[in-house]
Structures are given as C-alpha cells and as structure tokens.
Amino acid sequence: MQLTGSEIVVECLKEQGVDTVFGYPGGAILNVYDALYKHSDEITHILTSHEQGASHAADGYARATGRVGVCLATSGPGATNLVTGIATAYMDSIPVVAITCNVNLPLLGKDSFQEVDITGITLPITKHNFIVKDINSLADTIRRAFEIAQTGRPGPVLIDIPKDVTGVIAEYEKKVIEPVRPDEVSVSDEEINTAVEMIEAAEKPYIFVGGGAVLSDASDELFEFVKRVDAPVCDTLMGKGAFPGTDELYTGMLGMHGTKTSNFGVSECDLLIVVGARFSDRVTGNAKKFANHAKILQFDVDPAEMDKNIVITAGVTGDIKTVLKKVNEKLSQQSHKPWVKQIEEYKAKYPLSYHPDVLSGPFVVEEIYRQTKGDAIITTEVGQHQMWAAQFYKYSRPRTFLTSGGLGTMGYGLGASLGAKMGVPDKTVVNIAGDGCFRMNMNEIATAVRHNIPIIQVVINNHVLGMVRQWQTLFYEKRYSQTVLNDAVDFVKLAEAMGATGLRANTQQEFRVAFEKALTLGKPVVIDCQIDSDEKVWPMVAPGAPISDAFDEGDVAR
C-alpha cells in the first residue's frame, strides 16, 4: 500500500491501538494533522492550550490507563514546549511517545525558521529518541519507539520527522502488534532464593513500595506478598495505591513528609524489602543514616538502581510482578506479631492530624475522599497540597494518584487530569492544586471546556507559594522572599471567563456544598478554597537529617 509519511504515522498509531492523542499544530507538522483530520472517527485529538499541557496530558493518560500516551508538536518552540513534560515522564518512568516534526531535510542545521535540534535537546531526558530522515524506516521507527517506551523500565521516547518526510510516498504494510510482556526468563533463581532466605531470617521486616509496583501492575502479587511476609508497609508518592491505603498493615508514606510511624519503623527494622523504589533523596533523608540497622533487599527492573543511592545487601533484578510471583511461590508463611504490634502502637501514638474547625488543605482532601468514596482519580500539582493529597486520601487501587514525583513539576496536574479523564472517562477526576501551581498552566481549563472534559479543579489557595514559604518559616527566619501571591487574581472569574463553573469556599461547609455540586454538574469546575497562609505540612524531616528525626507541629511548639 502506497502512503505518504503522514498517513504512515496515523496508520502506525492505529496499529498500536492509540485512540487519543494530545497536541498543538504548526507549519512543520501540518501534513500529519491533515492525515489525522481524515481519521478523526478513529483517533480523538485533544487540542490543548499549550504544548506543555499536551505532554502532561499524554503522561496522565499513560499513568491512568497503563497504555502509552501520545503527544504531538510542531518544530522549534512547539517541540521545546514539550521538554518539561518529557522530563517529568522520564523521571517517573512513564511510557510516552512524543512525535515532533522539523524543517525540511535540506534546511536542517542551517538555523532555519523554527528549527531546533530536539533530539539533541531531549537526549538526556528520553529513554531513546529518533530523527527519521528516510521515509522507508518511518513505520519501523514508530513501532520501535512504542516498544522501547513500554519494555523493561518504561519511559518517554521522542520521534522527530522532517516535514518533507511526512509528504513523500512509500510502501506501507500493516503489522499486527503483539502486546508487550515482561521478561520472566531472565529473573535469577539464585537471586530469588537469596531473597526468600533473607525474608525468612528476618524478625522485623518492613516493606517499602515504589512506583515500579504500579507500573508493572503487580498489586495482586504485592498484596499476597505482604500477607505472606506479615510485615508493615510504607510507600513513595509513586507507589500510592499499589498496596491498599486502607489495610491495617499500611503505615503511610516514607521520607521528608512521611508519617512518623513509617520513618521510625524503617529506622528500626532489621530487613527493609524495597519493591520498585529508587531511594530518592526525599525518601532517604541522610543516606548514611538510612535504615542503618537493617539489611536491604531490593526488587527492581533496572539493574542501574542497585547500589545507586543506597548500598543494598542483595537484590533481585526483574519485572516486579514477575519477581513477586516467583518469591510468593517459594516463601513460606511468616509471622511477626510482636513487630506488627509495635508498629500498630506507633500508628496509634503518631496519627496524622490537623486543626478541626477551619478550612484547610487536609480537610479539603479528606472531604474529597469522603464524597468520592475513595473511588476517584486524583491528580496534583507540586507542593503542600501534593503532600496533603498523599497523606489524607486513602488510595486503594493503583493508577488513581497521578503526580510529578521525580521532577516536581508545578503545572503538571491539570494537563494530567485531562489525559486521565480521556483515558478513564467513567472515573471522577479531581486535580488538586495550590494557587501558585494553578497559575502555571491554568489555561488548560479552556481545553477542558473546549472538549467538554468534566474534570474538577480544586485550588487550595493560601495566597503564597506554600511549600517554599514553609521552608522560609522553618529554615530562613521568616524571610519571605518572592513567595507572597496576595494579589487581585480571582480564580472564580477566571474559570467563568474560560467557560467553566467557578465556585469559592471559605469554610468547611462551603467546600462540602461546592464539591457536592461539582460532582453533579458534568462539566469543568474550578473551586477556589481560601486557606490560611501559614498552614504547614506535618510531619517533616529537615534537609540533611535522618528520617528518624521527623518532627511535627507539637515538636516545634515544645
């Protein structure tokens, strides 16, 4: 079959089962958009307000569905506007394919209009990238890009196509794409046996769950593993929902804003079992003092993560779902009643709490949990509200908490919420933002309205850059340099100007009523929640301190 390059792009997307793409057209990518127009009944295109929104939407789609997210952009500034979203996906190992188009082949390298070396720019933040200069390799390159994005440790892949390649004709032959399956053969029996021996010898094991357990769809195997080990469980931001936050063995997040229970328990355990986590500095605190009473057993698909940030005792390299399945087959039922009881006592002694009578971030998150019955997809921006969303919403299933963990991208959540809602339309999708983050990409409310994507945007509005201000309060003697946002911006009016419904809440009851209304409207809603500027996230670990030094508001008062 003879097709143009742009038609081959669309046919290859269809081969991969792509039903939704996010993007923004421009001159270099016009041929591809013309081909998409002819297939609009098969592939839905969401025109975002900015290319960064498209990259975050593709990321959110991928996290919510487990499929590859796809975004499109033109050359030059269109391509560079994807960079932040690509880097966000790279840091959190999210499978995204970004397709950009560039200037014609004879114009490459000549500083032509809207030319940029996007493959050079994105080389450090992609799993792989391609520039396709020969149309005869176009189809296979696209197929290879999707395969790379999904296999092993997932990640973003970029394909750059010069415009003239999208216009010439070549032979295209359709291929049936087989689903990507994890490599079960390469998991070492010796490593599995060592892991089982370490677990069976432990008296005080603790299980630490990261995003790898979510990405490998290993929740069932993880649940069986936890019950078989009979150990308490903590997690990272990326690991939320892999193990139910409602289970009695769950102790909350670990690290800088983790619970005291998790931080103290990990500091006292004799075996830390790390399931698909990479030992981020926000988790470990002072790395030299992290879990230094414990042997460390790490399960990870990426051998490069072994001994990278923390020296481990032993590791098993492989897909998390496969590793857990193999360990479960060999591990006998364990019992650690005294240890579990000790951790339960910590949970009773150090619960998460907040001021009960005022509208606050934790209250907002708990009320969202109550009204959605824990069955929503929550996306967030980055900052205090992100930590509250991690602490006070109980995630019982994977792929229901979408947030920028590694890169910490302000402006991520709104685009991600659009992608999540397109991928899982039957779920309520709520983006929780601070007012500083909402300003970053609030133009995507117009996208939600344009395409009638009924997301609920909750702005926890403290009129400051909350997390930065918290650090300034605690560590910079209250020198609030450039963190006050107390200006005349009215988010309710902005929402209405873009065609959404705008609501405001100043009290707990007003928020209850506003969110209840938002759930019934079936259209984009923005709720502006006015909270105190000095609200803080507790507990906290000071930078450079061990996680066992976690402190809260009561400790500061003393």
Question: CA distances (Å), 484 to each of 438, 531, 547, in order?
Answer: 15, 14, 30
Query: Alpha helices, DSSP H only, in 138-188?
Result: 138-150, 163-167
Burial 136-163 (b: 16+ CB within 10 A, else e): eebbebbeebbebbbbebbbbbbbbbbb
Q: Write the single-letter amino acid at 445.
A: I
Question: CA distances (Å), 297 to each of 173, 264, 270, 278, 294, in order?
Answer: 47, 18, 11, 12, 9
Residue 128: φ, ψ to 5°:
-165, 155
Q: How far apart are CA 384 and CA 396, in angstroms?
A: 22
Q: How far apart are CA 415 and CA 22, in angstroms?
A: 10
Residues contacting 209, CB < 8 A, separation 6+? 222, 233, 234, 235, 236, 239, 242, 243, 275, 276, 277
Sign of CA dihedral 251, 255, 258, 263: positive
Strand order from edge to edge, sheet including 401-402: 401-402, 377-380, 429-434, 456-461, 525-530, 501-505
Nearest CA-CA partner of 524 in 462, 426, 450: 450
* Helix, strand, or coil (residue 542): coil
Tokens of 134: 């020969």
Nearest CA-CA partner of 149 in 20, 53, 58, 241: 58
Using an 8 Å Cβ cutoff, are 121 and 154 in contact? no
| Stated length of the chain | 558
**DSSP-assigned letter for residue 398:** T
Q: Taking CA 323 as the corner, what is the angle to CA 322 and CA 329, rounded to the nearest 5 degrees? A: 90
Can you give the three-state secondary structure of 1-63, one letter per residue? CEEEHHHHHHHHHHHCCCCEEEEECCHHHHHHHHHHHCCCCCCEEEECCCHHHHHHHHHHHHH
Question: CA distances (Å), 263 to each of 230, 231, 269, 290, 494, in order?
Answer: 19, 15, 10, 10, 41
Question: Which are the catalytic amino acids?
Answer: 51, 113-114, 163, 467
Q: How far apart are CA 133 and CA 111, in angstroms?
A: 18
